[in-house]
Structure 1
Amino acid sequence: MAAIESFDNIYLDLSKEHGKCRFAETGLGWKPVGGGDTFTLDQGNIGGAQWSRAAKGYEIKILQRNSGIIQLDGFQQEDYERLSKIFKNWYSTNLENKEHSLRGWNWGKAEFGKAELTFNVQNRPAFEIPYSEISNTNLAGRNEIAVEFAVGEGGKAGQNGATPGKGKKASAGKDQMVEMRFYIPGTTTRKEAEGGDAGSDADEEEKNAVTLFYDTLIEKAEIGESAGDTIATFLDVLHLTPRGRFDIDMYDTSFRLRGKTYDYKIQYEAIKKFMVLPKPDEVHYLLCIGLDPPLRQGQTRYPFLVMQFKTDEEVTLDLNLPEEDLNEKYKGKLESHYEQPLHSVVAQIFRGLAGKKILSPAKNFQTHRAQSGIKCSIKASEGFLYCLEKAFMFVPKPATYIAYDQTQSITFSRVGGAVSALSTFDITVHMKGGGNSQFSNINREDLKGLEDFFQYKGLRVKNEIDEDANMLAAAMRAEDMASSDEEVVQNKADRGSADEDEESVDEDFQADSDSDVAEEYDSNHESDGSGSGESDVDNEVDDDEDEEMEDAEEEEEERPKKKKKTG
């Protein structure tokens, strides 16, 4: 047998590009055809191997002694005998022929292996999930568990036998599976799970099967506390987005949100923006974290985390970090001891661990009440709009970030176009790529400050409110110059439907009776309410009969003019 065996068109860990795979007595190596990093695996790190049918032909799955898995895909069926001798003679390992279940059943048994979770149907694996691809898990229901997969940014393999990073295999394809759910009914016992003697209390022995699955997966996939020691922990922090209270565990490369129902593990690399925003009530501070990829909760995505802290809440905290790391890795970024307001401590630790700059509201803008946040709403959701140095930020929900350089123009308009609504106005931000965002019900006193700030930032501003005011002033000037007949028409138009109803009543009375009825109708209108009023009117008519007759004659002269006018 030759010292080196070579195979072409082999794919490493579902890579997009094939390469050449070489086996030698000291180990194996793989190099992409187009050039790039070479992967090598030492012979002493090979703990087992399986041969099975795969997407691009046949696959060799190598189980590493350090719990990692290496997949080599693209072999032909006739290569099995040759590879079997290589693993047996050089690596002292049997190449096990593994057949998968093709029944298509969606019920079976889940088994936790050393490096992967296997779902078996009739004692044959239907599919396997490497622990390195699992980023998080949550109890989604009473007997349901959600398993979330990591989303990587490339398909580069690890070197020197290191397990590829989370999400590297999934990122090899255009389409990626991001979540899978298992329904696990029934209960189990610690004795059955651990294979040993359990406690004497039967109630403590019984445990929901889904809870045992959840706890085991967290341990195997190194999610949460098992991933390492926490550097800092903040308990019961109020989150406005997603809504709820979460404990925050901060690690070296990630942080974890632990709630009653959902747990989230987020890499610091996913943090793209970090903002500290004072709330206009002057009692709270908002910490807003922008994520890419966004946080997922079922079908809902959260591109921003919004936390709320009380301004006067103090905290004393000592970081769980050795002096060597503080002096070397985090020198100038973190301190060993903090005794400051809680929101300030959280912001500083996030800045030190994630390496992100803290954004704050622009210094050259304040509302008429000398505050940074403007109370407004997006559709039916009320919140606060902040003008940062380079962008708008609306919080808490829906958290909206709009960069100034992506803004084409900004329009100030009155609410609904109503001239009578003088106390508030709207802002419509038109984007360069199309679409717009509208912020409604902003206090009228903030109009001048916003307009000056936008012009200072070089943004195109259109003030339709001043145009409405100019049109209203022109209409009032035209009204002053109108004739008396036009004034009557204008007054009737301003009164709305009241005069229309009065005119229709007059016309009915004029068509069916003489002119005396109108006067009689007027007296009836005045007399509605009580009998004493009617007697007073009658006495007044008897005493001033002459004056009433003169008024009746004048009314007779005016009525024909009115008919001509209305006709």
Structure 2
Amino acid sequence: MNLDSIEFSNASQEVTGSLVSGKLSFNNRGLVFRNPGTGKNLVVAPTDWEDVFWIRIAGAFGLKFFLKSGPMHQFAGFKETDFEPISKFFRNSYQIDLKEEDKSLKGWNWGSVKFRGKVLEFNVERQVGFHLPLNYVSQCTTGKNEAVLEFHAHEDASVALMEMRFYIPQEGAEGDPLESFHQNVLDKADIVQATGEALMSLHEVPSLTPRGRYELKVYPTFLQLHGKTFDYKITYSSILRIFILPHPDSRQMFFVLSLDPPIKQGQTRYPFLILNFKKEEDSIEVDLEIPEKELKEKYDGRLEKHLSGQTYEVLGRVLKGLVNRKITVPGAFKGTTGSSLSCSYKAAVGFLYPLDRGFVFVHKPAIHVRFDEISAVNFARSGGNTRSFDFELETKNGQTHTFNGLGKEEYSKLFDYVTEKGLRVKNRGDKDEGASRKIDMVLDSDEDEEHDAYMQKVKNEGRARDDGDDEEDDEDFKPQEDNSDVAEEFDSDAGGSSEEDEDGESKPKKEKEKKKKKANRYDDEVGDGERKKKRKKEGKKDKDPNMPKRPLSAYMIWLNEARDKIKADFPGISVVDISKKAGELWKQVTDHKKWDDKAAEAKKEYDIKMREYEKKRRDEDNDEDDEGASSSKQSKKSSQASKKSSKPSSSTSSPNKMVKSDEFVATDDDTSSSDDDKAARSKKRAKSSEESEVELSD
């Protein structure tokens, strides 16, 4: 254990009747409690502590801190064994003794009341019955011998205390005890009362949320909005953060207040107050009606008596001093239109502001997401052939905020920003290529083509495991070896005659023209896509059963192991719903290393089997080629010789002239035949026979 600090990760703070989990630590600054829901740190210095008590809570133990000036703080989530180390640390570090509170267990409802700071203490026979923080009280009214306390409603509390009544007898008491009780409660309770004059007033202030124009009045303890229909009172304790954000048109400013609890309008809750100011408005001057002594003591110099400047600037400086909160402005991010990104959230168009410690979306609905709430960010497309992309923020509680329609030109700037802030980018690519590798954001100079980070990731995974394809190259069909144009057109008559017809065109050429016209007619009737699909289906080969199966991805390995558990957790779930539920559960898995390692191991085994399979197949193909080499060569030579022997005579004659064949046999009636003609024909036949023998020998 560190001697300079002591920390409890599972502590809880009691807030208006409910417990808020967080991290409690004690160090040189004193008490520090981190609220993960609001991101707000509660820091109380040891010099402000009056008493610290170790208390017993149902089934556990807790700590109760009384302050010299301020509310009481209670924390739970401790074990009995934590008393000794905490007590020793307080004594050594703060010189404060940790006391044990002696509570009354009689359950009586009659006792005495006393006020210590901003806490009402009810005692039964000198033992504490209960403590009531008066900052929970919203109103106090009196009747005959009775005082009624009303409490602020807490949205997160399942059971809330709304009212408490005290009977205060008048007999035998000095003065008016009922009036004294009422005045003590009003002085110390968090009661919103418009008493006195406002420190600052603004008329006709345009508000985006809630929508309308309001008269804004600034009081020492609260902010009032007065409209035609509704009035709102905002206590300074409910203001978590103040944002001043410039509009992209450089003529307007958004003034945003983050509220907890939110203001209400019927059943509607507004966790953000968004005011809209114009830069072109005239400067204003304000003189605060606060004594100089109070400015120095109560506000510690955070406020000035005289203020001047733009309306939003003056209002920001006043609230900064009253609320004691820093004003958040845009950080170092610079886009093409300034410090914001134009986009839409669901159906509402607005502006996303990347800040130094989070993101703010203005304005409907206003969203603030801190970096410590984000588990991962994701770059995706908005769908279709658009010139934009989507930006997703996944929070640790499983919620996803998707901002659509961001301009393509903002892609690289936003990616550099989230990388610089150390946020985890969900779709960086394959982990084998290095976790530090950025998304391939090289945007093609061709503006018709759009970069898709998600599709790039899918392609990378596909290339990694797509070593074996179902379809193989056809090694039997080699039209180049036929050395003919007809072979390219899938014509069976590859060695046909090349004689020309009456138009001077060769028959193979006319055959190609006929096939082309036939194909065009087929395209008109069926469609080019159907024809290609039919040819592909006819030419596709069956998959080799000996080919190794592709490896499973990390998600599929996880799904095979989680499928039985999903069925057990959700009885009667259908197959389709199992896939949907598995997708939701997979998104909630933050550490994928186990499944990625299994997928990588399966990929290595697949690569080894694939190399062995390809080597075996090449050996079998070589054996088949050796056996058929001689027969193929002899068949080719015979075919070429047959083609040459079947060539027609090169001499041509007129179609109207009678020609006698070499095989013409003269008859006795043929008086035109003579011995000289017979001898010439016999000599010609012998010469032709010799030429044929020479060609065959070649």
Displacement, 1:338? 2.0
Q: 1:161 to 1:559 in 2, by over 3 A?
A: closer
Contact 1:31 1:38 in 2 (8 A): no
Deviation of 1:291 (Å): 0.8
Aligned pairs (5 A) from 1:351-500: 351-363=320-332, 365-369=333-337, 371-416=338-383, 418=384, 420-421=385-386, 423-463=387-427, 465-469=452-456
Give runs of aligned pairs for residues 340-351 of structure 1, distance below 5 A: 340-351=309-320
Residues 158 and 164, structure 1, Cα contact 8 Å, conserved in 2: no
Please give the alpha-carbon distance, in whole angstroms, between the structure 1 residues aligned to 2:201 and 2:518: 90
Match of 2:29 in 1: none
Structure 1 distance, partners of 2:302, 2:321, is: 5
CA contact (8 A) 1:231 1:319 kept: yes
Q: Output the amino acid matched with 2:408.
A: R
CA distance in 2, matches of 1:276, 1:450: 21
Unaligned runs of 5+ in 2: 1-104, 114-120, 134-140, 150-162, 429-451, 475-501, 523-530, 536-698
Q: 1:302 aligns with which of 270, 279, 300?
A: 270
The structure-2 alpha-carbon separation of the partners of 1:281 and 1:560, relative to structure 1 and needing over 3 Å to count, comes to closer
Instruction: Compute the displacement of 1:299 (Å).
Output: 1.1
Q: How does 1:308-347 map to 2 (within 5 A)?
A: 308-313=276-281, 314-347=283-316
How far residue 357 of structure 1 moved from its aligned partner, in angstroms, is 1.0
Which residue of the other structure, out of 267, 273, 279, is the alignment partner of 2:241? 273
Aligned in 2, Cα 1:18/1:396: closer, same or farther, shift over 3 Å?
Answer: farther
Once the two structures are TM-superposed, the CA of residue 384 in structure 1 deviates from its matched residue by 0.7
Q: Is the 8 A contact 1:415 1:426 kept in 2?
A: yes
Query: How far 1:553 sits from its partner (Å)?
Result: 7.2
> For 1:37 and 1:435, how far apart are their aligned partners in 2?
38
For residues 333 and 444 of structure 1, do their structure 2 counterparts lie closer, same or farther at Cα, with a shift above 3 Å needed? same
Report if the CA contact (8 A) 1:276-1:359 is conserved: yes
Conservation of the 8 A alpha-carbon contact between 1:426 and 1:440: yes
* CA drift at 1:158: 7.2
- Alpha-carbon distance in 2 for matches of 1:319, 1:548: 104
Q: Larger strand proportion, structure 1 or 2?
A: 1
What SS does the corresponding residue of 1:31 show, helix, strand or coil? strand
- The 1:62–1:447 alpha-carbon spacing in structure 2 relative to 1, beyond 3 Å, is closer
Cα distance in structure 2, aligned partners of 1:38 and 1:474: 61
Larger-Rg structure = 2
Amino acid across the alignment from 1:393: V
Separation of aligned partners in 2, 1:435 and 1:453: 22
Letter in 1 for 2:234: I
> Per the alignment, do residues 286 and 336 of structure 1 end up closer, same or farther by CA in structure 2, a change over 3 Å counting?
same
SS of 2:111's equivalent in the other structure is strand
> What is the CA RMSD across the aligned residues, in angstroms?
4.6
- What secondary structure does 2:403 align onto? strand
Q: Structure 1's 388 and 37: CA in aligned 2 closer, same or farther, altered over 3 A?
A: same
In the alignment, is residue 61 of structure 1 matched against residue 153 of structure 2?
no
- Partners of 1:92 and 1:461 lie apart in 2 by 70
The yes-or-no answer on 1:71 pairing with 2:40 is: no
How far apart, in 1, do the equivalents of 2:284 and 2:271 lie? 28
Aligned AA (1:292): D
Deviates more, 1:403-412 or 1:318-327: 318-327
Q: Which one has more relative contact order, counting CA pairs under 8 Å at least 6 apart?
A: 1
Check 1:457–1:261 CA distance in 2 against 1; reply closer, same or farther (3 A cut): same
Q: Is residue 240–residue 396 contact of structure 1 (8 Å, CA) maintained in 2? A: yes
Q: What does residue 132 of structure 1 align with?
A: none
Q: For the residues of structure 1 that align with 2:504 and 2:316, how far apart are their CA atoms?
A: 87
CA distance in 2, matches of 1:89, 1:472: 89
Question: In structure 2, what residue type is equivalent to 1:319?
Answer: L
Give distance in 2, aligned partners of 1:432 and 1:394.
19
Cα gap change, 1:560 to 1:408, in 2 (>3 Å): same
What is the Cα deviation at residue 300 of structure 1? 0.7
Code of the aligned partner of 2:356: E
Q: Aligned match of 1:21 in 111, 115, 130?
A: 111
State the TM-score, normalized to the length of structure 2. Answer: 0.42
1:476-523: CA deviations, max 9, x gaps? xx9xxx99x9xxxxxxxxxxxxxxxxxxxxxxxxxxxxxxxxxxxxxx
374 and 342 in structure 1: CA distance in 2 versus 1, 3 angstrom threshold: same
* TM-score, length basis structure 1: 0.50
Contact (CA 8 Å) 1:387, 1:393: kept in 2 or not? Answer: yes
Is residue 158–residue 165 contact of structure 1 (8 Å, CA) maintained in 2? no
Corresponding residue number in structure 2 for 1:263: 231
- Measure, in 2, the Cα distance between the counterparts of 1:332 and 1:290: 24
Letter in 1 for 2:381: R
Could you tell me the percent identity over the aligned residues?
31
Q: Offset of 1:325 from its aligned partner?
A: 2.4
Once residues 386 and 409 of structure 1 are traced to their aligned partners in structure 2, the CA distance between those partners, rounded to angstroms, is: 18
**Alpha-carbon distance in 2 for matches of 1:382, 1:433:** 25
